[in-house]
Chain A
Amino acid sequence: MSRKLNTDLLIILIAFPILWFAPAGLKSYGLYVVSLWLVMSIAAMGLNLTLGYAGLTSLAQGAFLGIGAYATAILTVKAFLVGVVLGFPALRVKHHYLAFVTLAFSVVVFLIARNEQWLTGGVFGLANIPRPTLFGTDLGGGLAFYRVVLVVTLALTLVMWWLLHSPWGRAFQAIRENGTRAASLGVDIRAYTLLAFAIGSAFGGAAGALYAPLVEFIDPSPFALSASFVLLLTVVAGGAGSFFGPFVGAFFSYMLPELLRATGGWYLIIYAAVVLVLVMVSPTGLLGLIDRWRDHQSQRKAAAIRAAARPTLANGAETNPKEQGAAS
């Protein structure tokens, strides 16, 4: 476990400077695409917590993105609080029923964004959203703003890393794998379920707050129900419950379509084919492939240890050959 913690941190530390300098030569469109990738990675990281680690199917992450985008100023607090409120159904309903509840919420948020013109500008949206300045330095240029996004992404990734490797992360996983057993070990299912939902939603809100100044114009359409579905696809394609899954997934569902635009009319067909193949080959996502390989290695190692230990345990534990066979 401790070795794995370090690998995750190491990847973060190596990736950050690379990502800081790499897009320097890109034009504004390229910078927009890379920034979008990072923003969506944040939203996906939040959903990965809710879905991947705590096992709660949410179809509302796109709506939280919208709430964050529309309420940029007081973003995270708002999304967190709304997340707590929406988390309550998660205590009562599970799986597709929770999906239905969050789906309904998504539709409500979309309708508010579209119809409440005095607040959201309705279908005309809100234009000229300012980009931030820091100590008088204008951070509005493509590259500068990309770096703002990158720093926020780094900070939130570290927060998520800390959270998932704390006892909380262990409790989230335990609830997903076996809630009844977790409760019997003293894990407060209500508190942790609400927290997973609220923190995951807050990440969605934070992503929305970056999304608004990134595109400098928001209207309801990017936060429609389909946005939640794409985010769900992002988390699943990247590997639900694996730490870097959201980044891989966001590359897959936000950058790949842009790259495929070069193929003209073919791009949706190619993209659909890639999704189908991925789902068939690895239902646990792209990073799931690596995890499966790692499990395979460690199980072989465990089998070797058991085989080596067999003679010394002959008086007590392992003498049943059938059991040995079943375990390996």
Chain B
Amino acid sequence: MTRVLDVTGIKKHFGGVKAVDGVSFHVDEGEILGLIGPNGCGKSTLFNCILGQLTPSEGEVRLDGKPITGLYPSQLNRLGVSRTFQLLQVFPNLSVRENLILAGQEHKGTMLKRLFGPRDAGLTAEADRMIAFFKLDHLAEQKAGGLSYGQQKLLDAAMAFMAGPRLVLLDEPAGGVNLTMLENLKERLRAINRELGATFVVIEHNMDFVMSLCSRVVVMAEGKVLAQGAPAAVRANPDVIEAYLGH
């Protein structure tokens, strides 16, 4: 199986605090990997190191075998690494369709072609496909800020998949979403994995969400990898139970 992402020995220290202390894992093509762990275990710091928001103190990140450590977020994105944020981040004053076109336009042509080429960068059809896929059809012309929270969450996820990325990292996609919408989101993520062959990593607190969505789970605690494997095996692991329920 092809490895999409390889993370080797990532460390991130803030002064004396070892937020991430030597984490290694990989992501295979076409899988949904869950990254879980109790609050403050270093998940988000690790995410930010992979995504260029922070520079790791040590270690290496490779995408399809090529080193990508320390690249800018925008460069990483153009290489095919896409993401969502913990808090919802759509552009409220742009329409749903414009949000999606924005998410794809920087992947097409050069700066000059973007200035003199078509206004939609030739992406309207693609955007409408994503809109249909995430069942936002009737809202294409609406400003994103006027959508309900759940709908914005769907748009947020749709934007991450717009440019046909190699890898998508979702930071707590289930946060603040009500139960019915959660099922809807999970079902869409599964479908996009199945139909488009998208590979992604999901950070979550919501154990049920991760266990039912992911094919493999990495558990972190105190900056280190505590366990990894199939959801059922991880759930039964005494160390994991200790980390979540102990102390």
Among the stretches A115-123, A163-171, A273-281, the one at the interface with B is: A163-171
CB–CB B102/A327 < 8 A: no
Among the stretches B4-12, B146-154, B202-210, B228-236, the one at the interface with A is: B146-154
Task: Kindly supply a per-residue 1/0 record for chain A positions 25-68, scoring 1 wherever the CB is within 8 Å of any chain B CB and 0 otherwise.
Answer: 00000000000000000000000000000000000000000000
Residues of the A chain whose Cβ atoms lie less than 8 Å from the Cβ of B244: none
Residues of the B chain whose Cβ atoms lie less than 8 Å from the Cβ of A324: 148
Residues of the B chain whose Cβ atoms lie less than 8 Å from the Cβ of A165: 119
Q: Is B131 an interface residue (CB 8 A)?
A: no
Number of interface residues of A (CB under 8 A): 40
CB–CB B91/A173 < 8 A: yes
CB–CB B91/A178 < 8 A: yes
CB–CB B94/A173 < 8 A: yes
Q: Is A185 an interface residue (CB 8 A)?
A: yes
CB–CB A316/B105 < 8 A: no
Among the stretches B180-188, B193-201, B216-224, the one at the interface with A is: B180-188
Q: Is B129 an interface residue (CB 8 A)?
A: no
CB–CB A185/B180 < 8 A: no
Rounded to whole Å, the gap between the CB of A300 and the closest CB of chain B is: 10
CB–CB A316/B184 < 8 A: yes
The residue in chain A whose Cβ has the minimal distance to the Cβ of B156 is A181
Residues of the B chain whose Cβ atoms lie less than 8 Å from the Cβ of A168: 111, 114-115
Residues of the B chain whose Cβ atoms lie less than 8 Å from the Cβ of A323: 148-150, 178
Known: A170-B105, A317-B184. A1 touches B98 (CB 8 A): yes
Residues of the A chain whose Cβ atoms lie less than 8 Å from the Cβ of B183: 316
Q: Is B45 an interface residue (CB 8 A)?
A: no
Known: A177-B93, A320-B180. A167 touches B105 (CB 8 A): yes
A169-198 residues at the B interface, CB under 8 angstroms: 170-171, 173-174, 177-178, 180-189, 191
Q: How far is the CA of A115 from the CA of B65 in the complex (A)?
A: 60
Rounded to whole Å, the gap between the CB of A7 and the closest CB of chain B is: 15
Residues of the A chain whose Cβ atoms lie less than 8 Å from the Cβ of B103: 185
CB–CB B151/A167 < 8 A: no
A276-301 residues at the B interface, CB under 8 angstroms: 295, 298-299
Q: Is B69 an interface residue (CB 8 A)?
A: no
Rounded to whole Å, the gap between the CB of A151 and the closest CB of chain B is: 23
CB–CB B82/A167 < 8 A: no
CB–CB B148/A318 < 8 A: yes
Most buried by A among B119, B147, B159, B183: B119
CB–CB B114/A178 < 8 A: no
Residues of the B chain whose Cβ atoms lie less than 8 Å from the Cβ of A326: 148-149
Q: Is A94 an interface residue (CB 8 A)?
A: no
> Main SS of chain A's interface residues?
helix
Q: How far is the CA of A327 from the CA of B150 in the complex (A)?
A: 10
CB–CB B89/A181 < 8 A: yes
CB–CB B78/A186 < 8 A: yes
Residues of the B chain whose Cβ atoms lie less than 8 Å from the Cβ of A191: 111
Residues of the A chain whose Cβ atoms lie less than 8 Å from the Cβ of B166: none
Q: Is B51 an interface residue (CB 8 A)?
A: yes
Contact of A170 (CB < 8 Å), options: B72, B77, B94: B94
Q: How far is the CA of A35 from the CA of B22 in the complex (A)?
A: 67
Q: How far is the CA of A171 from the CA of B148 in the complex (A)?
A: 24
Q: How far is the CA of A319 from the CA of B121 in the complex (A)?
A: 36
Q: How far is the CA of A178 from the CA of B102 in the complex (A)?
A: 12
Residues of the A chain whose Cβ atoms lie less than 8 Å from the Cβ of B117: 166-167
CB–CB A317/B147 < 8 A: no
CB–CB B73/A184 < 8 A: yes
Task: Kindly supply a per-residue 1/0 record for chain A positions 310-328, scoring 1 wherever the CB is within 8 Å of any chain B CB and 0 otherwise.
Answer: 0000001111100110110
Rounded to whole Å, the gap between the CB of B230 and the closest CB of chain A is: 29
Rounded to whole Å, the gap between the CB of A213 and the closest CB of chain B is: 30
Known: A189-B74, A317-B181, A327-B146. A181 touches B51 (CB 8 A): no
B54-84 residues at the A interface, CB under 8 angstroms: 72-74, 77-78, 82-83
Q: Is A309 an interface residue (CB 8 A)?
A: yes
Contact of A186 (CB < 8 Å), options: B74, B119, B141, B178: B74
Q: Is A305 an interface residue (CB 8 A)?
A: yes
Interface, chain B (partner A; CB < 8 A): 51, 72-74, 77-78, 82-83, 85, 89-95, 97-98, 101-103, 105-107, 111, 114-117, 119, 121, 135, 138-139, 141-143, 146-151, 159, 163, 178, 180-181, 183-184
14 A-B pairs with CB atoms under 8 Å apart are A167-B102, A170-B105, A177-B92, A181-B89, A185-B74, A186-B107, A187-B102, A295-B143, A317-B150, A319-B180, A320-B150, A320-B180, A323-B178, A327-B147
| Interface pairs A-B: 9 shortest CB-CB | A186-B106, A327-B148, A186-B77, A181-B89, A167-B114, A167-B105, A183-B73, A183-B74, A186-B78
